[in-house]
Copies of this chain bind each other. A is one copy, B any other.
């Protein structure tokens, strides 16, 4: 029975949805149920979709087969094209999914089948969530994490830079303001190493590197332009979403995020698959630890390090894990414009530049420079500092910004949100705690990253002595509702703790 295809302009976000009218003869004859998985065939293509039943002929008529935005794009046809729909065979990997739900260990082939089905959007939200929850905690052993990583790389494109040494850096996240990539890339690429940095946008944080870089330049670059920029400048700072790298990762994140799931196995597979697909041969990985960081103790950090190292070694990626100070946000600004300001201050060697951001970036850059076979271990930091102090890093950053397409931005007069309020110390004391999660939450409620000029500017950091009434931080927003949300969050918990100098938590790490 033939139907005509109709684009139903609903964005169902990584889930293909098919819409059939309740009185459609096919719906009745096939005995579909709502939420059935159906197979749509049109234009020689086949896709799976979840069925929604419609009672309104103005959305889909009785002879029409409606499909959601993403699904319509995948069929690559015009409205009104002939199409057919039938009960779908379940995705090939469903038996493997059921075995994982039942607590069994899966094989390499199982993971490849599951990830292929996920990348092809053959899983419903229900099946996706089941995979994520059943693979949570210690449900995956390290061999399975390796299989998952390998399968995620295989699910998308792999870039080949035709270079024997392609460096990258990554942080596991959780520390607001931690924009070291925007300093490490210009320093290390100015030194001459190939550093094609692709970043994500913020998922749960107030800014990702791509969000902050976008204050300065275009980040959504066509793939060919990205190749040209890296050939000409050895580095770039682009958004990775257009490159089809580890596409299953993006689909998995769409259910991990609302469940706040970020288990070690999934983190390792997600990060390493993206980096390997992007063509990195050498990676420096930053694991911050602190009382409100993702990792809260050294034993936990060491366990995570070993899992990263095991999988990296199986995937032939040279990996250097550094465990860093995650007790508080890095730099001063939290939010795209504020963080871009901090980065430019460091690049310009401004005496007011946040020193913690400068020091951390130099150390990471030094580690990467030491990947170069002609640099002795320990010499990287000095080389990086020379490149930054001499202005070569700034020149390199300007060249990358020009190549990507510069945006107007004067960091001496950053375009911050027009609405502000200050949080002040209610008593004298020393700053003995800054809660990463609470500061991130306040910055998000104020509008970051969607509102580029929104966020939190930290005027005091750990160990600073304050008098009663001193400003601890300033919140910027653009919309009254956002400002009010942020103000309520600050009233519940400012994120700052004051006390005595000897209460400042120890620095856990040397680096």
**Which residues of A are in contact with B by a Cβ distance under 8 Å?**
8-13, 19, 22, 29-31, 34-35, 37, 52-56, 58-59, 69, 98, 101-103, 124-127, 129-130, 132-134, 136-137, 254-255, 258-261, 447, 450-451, 479, 481-482
Contacts of A31 in B (CB 8 A): 447, 450-451, 482
Cross-chain contact A258 with B127 (CB below 8 angstroms): yes
Beta-carbon contact of A101 and B13 below 8 Å: no
The interface centre, meaning the residue of A9, A53, A260 with most chain B CB atoms within 10 A of its CB, is A9
- Taking the closest CB of chain B, its distance from the CB of A262, in whole angstroms, is 11
Q: List residues of chain B with CB within 8 A of the CB of A37.
A: 258
Q: How far is the CA of A127 from the CA of B126 in the complex (A)?
A: 9
Listed by A's residue number, 28 A-B pairs whose Cβ atoms lie within 8 Å are A9-B54, A10-B56, A11-B52, A11-B53, A11-B54, A11-B55, A13-B35, A29-B481, A30-B481, A31-B447, A31-B450, A31-B482, A35-B258, A37-B258, A98-B259, A101-B133, A101-B259, A124-B258, A125-B126, A125-B129, A126-B255, A126-B258, A126-B259, A129-B133, A130-B132, A130-B259, A133-B133, A134-B136
- Residues of the B chain whose Cβ atoms lie less than 8 Å from the Cβ of A59: 8-10, 59
- A200–B158 Cα distance when bound, in Å, is 51
How far is the CB of A484 from the nearest CB of chain B, in Å? 12
Nearest to A7 among chain B residues (CB) is B56
Q: Which residues of B contact A69 (CB under 8 A)?
A: 55
Return A2 CB to nearest CB of chain B, in Å: 14
Nearest B residue to A133 by beta-carbon distance? B133
Residues of chain B contacted by A58 (CB below 8 angstroms) = 58
Measured CB to CB, the closest approach of chain B to A210, in angstroms, equals 16
Min Cβ gap A104→B in Å is 11
Cβ of A22: which chain B residues have Cβ within 8 Å of it? 11
Question: Distance in Å from the Cβ of A438 to the closest Cβ of chain B?
Answer: 16
* Cα distance A69–B22 in the bound complex, in angstroms: 13
Q: In the complex, what residues of B have CB within 8 A of residue A103's CB?
A: 137
**A52 nearest in chain B by CB position:** B10
18 other A-B residue contacts (CB within 8 Å) besides A11-B55, A125-B126, A133-B134 = A9-B55, A10-B19, A10-B52, A10-B54, A10-B55, A10-B56, A10-B59, A11-B54, A13-B35, A13-B52, A30-B481, A31-B451, A35-B258, A59-B59, A124-B258, A126-B259, A129-B130, A134-B136
| Max count, chain B CB within 10 A of own CB: residue among A10, A127, A447, A481 | A10
Structural contact, B11 and A101, CB atoms closer than 8 A: no
**List of B residues within 8 angstroms of A52 by Cβ:** 10-13
CA distance A125 to B125 in the complex (A): 7
Report yes or no: B133 in contact with A98, Cβ–Cβ below 8 A: no
* Cα of A8 to Cα of B17 in the assembled complex, Å: 15
In the A-B complex, list the 8 residue pairs whose CB atoms are closest, starting with the nearest: A9-B56, A129-B129, A9-B55, A133-B133, A13-B34, A11-B53, A31-B450, A126-B129
List, in ascending order, chain B residues with CB within 8 A of A8's CB: 56, 59
Taking a contact as CB atoms under 8 Å apart, the answer to whether A261 and B133 are in contact is: no
Q: Complex Cα distance A129/B11, Å?
A: 22
Q: Chain B residues near A34 (CB, 8 Å)?
A: 11-13
Docked Cα-Cα span, A30 to B485, in Å, equals 11
Q: Is B35's CB under 8 angstroms from A137's CB?
A: no
A54 — which chain B residues lie within 8 A by C-beta? 9-11
CB distance from A142 to the nearest CB of B (A): 19
Chain B nearest CB, measured from A96 CB (Å): 13
Cα A68 to Cα B62 in complex, Å, equals 19
Q: How far is the CA of A136 from the CA of B12 in the complex (A)?
A: 28
A450 → chain B, closest Cβ, in Å? 5
Closest to A66 in B: B10
In Å, the complex CA distance between A124 and B254 comes to 13
Nearest-neighbour CB distance to chain B for A154, whole angstroms, equals 26
**Docked CA distance A69–B53 (Å):** 10
